[in-house]
């Protein structure tokens, strides 16, 4: 710390300036590291006077691959598409945006799509977003039930390294540990070594593209259990 001057109540100290982030012009490197590993992003870790400065930081945004906010957004969009999809009118508009086609929006579906961040723009300049394209992909991609083994947990970043057995028997996948802990009703430190079941898009090649939904604790194997069938082949891809 640097001593500024003496005060009647004691010396006043100023914390040394933090190193700037090499990937953005708005934050310190430390703030971006914290924001990327938090669903609150960078703007959730500063005071009110600084929010406007860091609110658009790309280092922690939900559009930046690998951030906590990105992982949460991917899960939210996939669950929306597979569990409570858009009305047909909204899907029609979204597909038209994706294909660059002209369309009419008599029921103002664009407002809802913008609220969900599936589309942005206005007037004649509407366009589909990354999340909008992810939604359309989720409507089409097969999802299977797979066993998931938790290898390890990083309590600081609140992430878990898991193996999705239906996708690869050894390659680790990074997921948000809180999603697993809530289902298993366990503390983060108790997760390693546990097995869970989840719906997963097993056809992807990049582990970051795996999105786990409908996570649940597997049923206990009873004494009269005889047949053994891979969980990821059990439902034929039904959502």
Task: Examine residue 184 and state whether it is found in any structural domain, yes or no.
Answer: yes
pLDDT string in tens for the chain (239-residue length): 344 444 555 555 555 668 889 999 988 889 898 888 888 889 888 888 888 888 899 999 999 999 999 999 999 999 999 999 999 999 999 999 999 988 888 789 999 999 999 999 877 789 999 999 999 999 999 999 999 999 999 999 999 999 999 999 999 999 999 999 998 899 999 999 999 999 999 999 999 999 999 999 987 766 664 544 455 454 554 54
Task: Examine residue 12 and state whether it is found in any structural domain, yes or no.
Answer: no
Residues 159 and 89 in one domain: no
Residues 56 and 89 in one domain: no
Task: Examine residue 8 and state whether it is found in any structural domain, yes or no.
Answer: no
CA dihedral 188, 189, 195, 199 (to 10 degrees): 20
Task: Examine residue 3 and state whether it is found in any structural domain, yes or no.
Answer: no
Question: CA 210, CA 78: separation in Å to the nearest integer?
Answer: 11
Residues 82 and 45 in one domain: no
Residues 173 and 119 in one domain: no
Residues 112 and 175 in one domain: no
Alpha helices in the chain (DSSP H): 29-36, 48-54, 68-83, 88-99, 109-115, 130-140, 177-184
Task: Examine residue 173 and state whether it is found in any structural domain, yes or no.
Answer: yes
DSSP 106-153: TT-HHHHHHHTTSEE--TT--EE-HHHHHHHHHHHS--EEEEEEEEEE
Residues 81 and 106 in one domain: yes
Domain enclosing residue 114, as ranges = 71-140
Question: CA 48, CA 52: separation in Å to the nearest integer?
Answer: 8
* CATH code of the domain in which 158 resides: 2.40.50
Given 140, 161, 186, which residue is the final one in a domain?
140
Task: Examine residue 11 and state whether it is found in any structural domain, yes or no.
Answer: no
The count of domains in the chain is 3
């Amino acid at each position: 710390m640097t001593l500024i001057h003496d005060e009647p109540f004691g010396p006043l100290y100023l914390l040394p300036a933090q190193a700037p982030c090499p990937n953005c012009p708005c934050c310190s490197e430390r703030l971006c590291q914290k924001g990327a590993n938090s669903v609150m992003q960078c703007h959730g870790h500063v005071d009110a006077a600084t929010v406007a400065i860091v609110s658009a930081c790309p280092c922690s945004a939900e559009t930046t691959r690998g951030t906590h906010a990105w992982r949460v957004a991917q899960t939210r969009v996939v669950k929306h598409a597979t569990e409570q999809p858009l009305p047909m009118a909204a899907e029609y508009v979204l597909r038209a945006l994706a294909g660059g086609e002209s369309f009419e929006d008599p029921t103002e579906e664009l407002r809802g799509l913008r609220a969900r961040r599936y589309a942005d723009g206005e007037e004649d300049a509407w366009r589909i977003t990354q999340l909008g394209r992810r939604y359309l992909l989720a409507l089409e991609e097969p999802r299977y039930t797979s066993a998931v083994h938790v290898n390890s947990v990083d309590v600081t970043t609140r992430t878990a390294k898991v193996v999705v057995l239906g996708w690869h028997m050894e390659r680790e996948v990074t997921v948000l540990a809180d999603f697993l802990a809530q289902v298993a009703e366990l503390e983060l430190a108790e997760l390693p070594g546990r097995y869970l079941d989840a719906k997963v898009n097993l056809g992807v090649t990049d582990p970051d593209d795996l999105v786990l939904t409908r996570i649940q604790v597997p049923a206990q194997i009873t004494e009269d259990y005889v047949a053994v069938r891979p969980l990821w082949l059990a439902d034929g891809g039904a959502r």
